[in-house]
Structure 1
Amino acid sequence: MKLTMLGTGNALVTDCYNTCFVLQDEDEYFMVDAGGGNGVLSQLKKAGIDWKEVRNIFITHKHIDHLLGAVWLMRMICQYMRQNQYEGEANIYGHSEVIQTLRSIAEMVLQKSEVTYLNRRLHLIAVEDGEEKEIMGRRVKFFDIHSTKDKQFGFTMELSKGKKLTCCGDEPYNISEKEYVVGSCWLLHEAFCLHSQADVFHPYEKHHSTVKDACQLAQEFGVENLILYHTEDKSLHQRKKLYMAEGETYFRGNLYVPDDLETILL
């Protein structure tokens, strides 16, 4: 199984794509978030992933840098279904507000002949806090991160040999997530900037954390592998080096600061 970061940046980046990624198990794909526009199609192409094979998508929340790329995927899927160039079905998961937003946008901007495929072959599936689904033959549990900004869900996925991967969305860890985060083999957590530059980027005012914060959390909860994303892009050419240097001071496991399109074997 492998993970490909399609994008690693926060909402306002211009030198990389907004944070989203794809989990791949042989010929099956599970995409998490879709960035802020049709750039997601370009990122998938650059990653060597056929968008038509991405049959399961999860949108964590309705902020535009996570949701609007999904609208483009919906357009492509429905258009190709209408043209008989898309076989089978596809699923988009999200909490009720995400699903309602996607449905409303689709009804406003897609052709009627395309909208007709919603819930017939393109299924918009609202999930509840603690609900489980089987995706790529693996148990996935969705959970509310209890954001004070906007409703947002994360998820945890069963890996082989009893291990698990947990995604906390794009906000700092909340104590309500403890049962999912503790003991994760892989943890995906946002890190808006270096702790040493918190006075420059003001992450806490934006409901985000620093590299130090995320690494201390992972160390405390026995995480084996930590992936940091949703960062600023002002230090992009040195981001990996700088973030690794700060993070390794606080986390003794395997630390990853991926670039766009980088693939990690799980």
Structure 2
Amino acid sequence: MKLTMLGTGHAAAVECYNTCFVLSEKDKYFLIDAGGGNQILMQLKKAGIPVEQIHDIFVTHEHIDHLLGVFWMIRIIGQKINQKKYEGDLNIYCHSELAGKIESIARLTIMPKIIRLLGGRIRIVAVEDGEKRKIIDHKVKFFDIGSRKAKQYGFTLKLDNERKFTCLGDEPYNPENYEEVRKSEWLMHEAFCLYSQNERFKPYEKSHSTVKDACQAAAELKVPNLILYHTEDENLPRRKHMYTEEGRQYYRGNLFVPDDLEVIKL
């Protein structure tokens, strides 16, 4: 299993793409969020991931930096279906409140010859808190992260030998999700900025966390592998070094601060 970070930036980042990533194994791909625009298509191309091979997308929540790229995926995959260049179906997973919004926006913005595929070969699949699905041949469990803003879901995915990969969405770890997160081999946690720069970037006003907060949470949970993402972009050239340096003060496991298009073997 590989994780390809298509984007690592927060909503207003312009020096890197908005946070979204792909989990892949052999020729099967699971796209999580799609960023804020059609640059999702460029990022997939740069990563060497064929759109024709993506059959599963999960949308964590309704914020535009995670959602808008999904409509480009619907459009392009819909075109390929109509051109008989896409085998199988596309499943777009999200919580029930978001499912109707995605369909409504799609119907307002995408041409009828593609919209007619909704409910057929393009399906918007509403999932509930605690619901389990099999995606790219792995067990996936969705859960409500308890967001204080827009309703948002994270997920766990079982790797080989029952190792667990957990994505918390783009908000700090919530102790209410302890049962979902505990015993995770891998944890993805947002880190809006360095703790030393929290007065400058004010992550807490946005319901986000710092590198220090994310690393302390991972240390308390005894997670051996931590991936930090959804960051500011002003420190981008030195982000990996700066975030790793601060993180090492609070976390002794394997710390990853990926750049856009970086691949991590799980």
TM-score, normalized by the shorter chain, greater than 0.5: yes
Using the TM superposition, give the Cα deviation of residue 10 of structure 1 relative to its aligned residue in structure 2, in angstroms: 0.0
In the alignment, what sits opposite 2:80? 80
Q: What is the root-mean-square deviation in Å for CA atoms of aligned residues?
A: 0.7
Using the TM superposition, give the Cα deviation of residue 97 of structure 1 relative to its aligned residue in structure 2, in angstroms: 2.2
Q: How does 1:85-124 map to 2 (within 5 A)?
A: 85-124=85-124
Would you say the 8 A contact 2:216–2:251 is kept in 1? yes
Q: How does 1:172-211 map to 2 (within 5 A)?
A: 172-211=172-211
Using the TM superposition, give the Cα deviation of residue 98 of structure 1 relative to its aligned residue in structure 2, in angstroms: 2.0
Q: Distance in 2 between matches of 1:65 and 1:154?
A: 16
Q: Distance in 1 between matches of 2:123 and 2:181?
A: 29
Alignment length, in residue pairs? 266
Using the TM superposition, give the Cα deviation of residue 85 of structure 1 relative to its aligned residue in structure 2, in angstroms: 2.0
In the alignment, what sits opposite 2:153? 153
Q: How does 1:8-157 map to 2 (within 5 A)?
A: 8-157=8-157
More deviation, 114-123/82-91:
82-91
SS of the residue 2:215 aligns to: helix
Would you say the 8 A contact 2:96–2:126 is kept in 1? yes
Q: Deviations over 1:32-53 (max 9, x none)?
A: 0000000000000000101111
In the alignment, what sits opposite 2:243? 243
SS of the residue 2:147 aligns to: coil
Would you say the 8 A contact 1:171–1:207 is kept in 2? yes
Paired AA for residue 93 in structure 1: Y
SS of the residue 1:246 aligns to: helix
In the alignment, what sits opposite 2:218? 218
TM-score (ref. length: structure 1): 0.99
Using the TM superposition, give the Cα deviation of residue 83 of structure 1 relative to its aligned residue in structure 2, in angstroms: 2.1
Using the TM superposition, give the Cα deviation of residue 69 of structure 1 relative to its aligned residue in structure 2, in angstroms: 0.3
In the alignment, what sits opposite 1:171? 171
SS of the residue 1:55 aligns to: strand
TM-score (ref. length: structure 2): 0.99
Would you say the 8 A contact 1:140–1:155 is kept in 2? yes
Would you say the 8 A contact 1:62–1:97 is kept in 2? no
Q: Distance in 1 between matches of 2:85 and 2:220?
A: 49
Q: Distance in 2 between matches of 1:20 and 1:159?
A: 20
What stretches of structure 2 of length at least 5 have no aligned partner? Answer: none
SS of the residue 2:18 aligns to: coil
Q: Distance in 2 between matches of 1:44 and 1:78?
A: 17
Would you say the 8 A contact 1:7–1:19 is kept in 2? yes
Would you say the 8 A contact 2:52–2:85 is kept in 1? no
Would you say the 8 A contact 1:93–1:127 is kept in 2? yes
Q: Distance in 2 between matches of 1:103 and 1:42?
A: 24
Aligned-pair identity in percent equals: 58
SS of the residue 2:100 aligns to: helix
More deviation, 72-81/223-232:
72-81
Would you say the 8 A contact 1:194–1:212 is kept in 2? yes
Paired AA for residue 63 in structure 1: H
Q: Deviations over 1:9-67 (max 9, x none)?
A: 00000000000000001110011000000000000000010111111000000000000
Q: Deviations over 1:120-174 (max 9, x none)?
A: 1011100000000000111100000011111000000001112100000000111
What stretches of structure 1 of length at least 5 have no aligned partner? Answer: none
In the alignment, what sits opposite 1:230? 230
Q: Deviations over 1:150-201 (max 9, x none)?
A: 1000000001112100000000111121111112100000000000000000
Q: Distance in 2 between matches of 1:3 and 1:172?
A: 21
